[in-house]
Amino acid sequence: MRDSLHTRPNFTFVEPVTQSGQHAGRAAAALIDHAGALEAADVHAWFDRLHALRGITLSIPVRHVTAIIGPSGCGKSTFLRTLNRMHELVPGARVSGRVALDGEDIYAPAVDPVLIRRRVGMVFQKPNPFPTMSVHDNVAAGLRLAGIRDRTILDETVERSLEAAVLWDEVKDRLDKPGTSLSGGQQQRLCIARALAVSPEVLLMDEPCSALDPASTLRIEELARELAKDITIVIVTHNMQQAARVSDSTAFMLDGAVVEYGPTNALFTRPHDPRTEDYITGRFG
């Protein structure tokens, strides 16, 4: 299991949870009392000799949903992966520049990337619950790896995480069933619950709805909006309507650079750069 951690990237680590089991306010708020802002400054990234990101400078505000849009291959997923030090897991991959989480450079030599990936969780395109684990154990997995054995704490955190992911009511009577027995949309919310269980400050979502039907998509979008009351969300999507629906700010990327970044409403009704205009009106890309 431990060997596979790095290839299971939305499996994040956790420090011992000390919260009591009290429910407080919103489900997500009960889990999370902190949120982080991200600042990218002149971030470059390479896959061997391929220069995938060419100097990204972007300020991602706290408790906002920030969407990143752009044509395939523009570097949006790569950028997302530089925000929690996942890019460097790819053989031959390199990063330069600075990414600060609450002012702290996550690429500084003393920083443990595992801790960063705990604080900056991730959800992927295809729901990837651990196939051999139950619903309960999927959510509890990160806590268990962090050494938490107390059944009460585990159960409470699982419940609150599933509530935060708006899945609890649907699965509370089958927590012992395999995670893979859920529908696609439920599996994606399970993965979100798993990410939330370790109390991240930022949640990165990489095309989280591209494998889901419209109703499940809208549920995830609503969830992202709800979670953004407590944590910072960055979502990569090639669905512009989704970006328009879900985000407060949108960045348009092209060829490894940010072309335009601003309030979502303005970007989708009155973009400043003609390349943004051409892309979002479907005239290229």
Partner 1 sequence: MSTIHPRESFEQALRDLEADIVRMGTMAGELIHRAVEALQARDAVEADAVVADDARVDALHLEIEQRVIALLATQQPMARDLRELTSILAISIDLERMADHAEGIGKATKRMIKEPLLKPLVDIPHVEQIVQGMLTDVLDAFVRRDVALAESLGPRDDTVDALRSQVFRELLAHMVDDPQSTSRALELILIAQHLERAADHITNVAERVIYLVTGEMREINV
Closest approach of Cβ 285 to partner 1, in Å? Answer: 8
Residue type at 146 in one-letter notation:
A
Say how far apart CA 117 and CA 126 lie, in whole Å.
19
Of 35, 68, 227, 244, which lies in the binding site for partner 1, with binding defined by CB under 8 A?
244
Of 42, 213, 241, 263, which lies in the binding site for partner 1, with binding defined by CB under 8 A?
241
Question: From residue 16 to residue 35, what is the string marking binding to partner 1 with x (rule CB under 8 A)?
Answer: --------------------
Closest approach of Cβ 280 to partner 1, in Å? Answer: 4
State whether residue 245 is helix, strand or coil. Answer: helix
Q: How many residues does the chain have?
A: 285
Could you tell me the two tokens for 82? 């530089």
Q: How many residues bind partner 1 (CB under 8 A)?
A: 15
Q: Does 68 help bind partner 1 (rule: CB under 8 A)? A: no
Q: Which stretch binds partner 1 (CB under 8 A): 33-41, 120-128, 152-160, 274-282?
A: 274-282
Closest approach of Cβ 47 to partner 1, in Å? Answer: 25
Of residues 138 and 237, the one with the C-beta less far from partner 1: 237
Sheet architecture: strand order including 120-123: 120-123, 202-206, 232-236, 65-69, 249-254, 257-263
Q: Does 281 help bind partner 1 (rule: CB under 8 A)? A: yes
Q: Does 69 help bind partner 1 (rule: CB under 8 A)? A: no
Longest dimension (CA), the chain: 57
**What DSSP line would sit under 98-146, residue for residue?**
EEEETTEETTSTT--HHHHHHHEEEE-SS----TTSBHHHHHHHHHHHT
**What residues line the site for partner 1 (CB under 8 A)?**
240-241, 244, 268-271, 276-278, 280-284
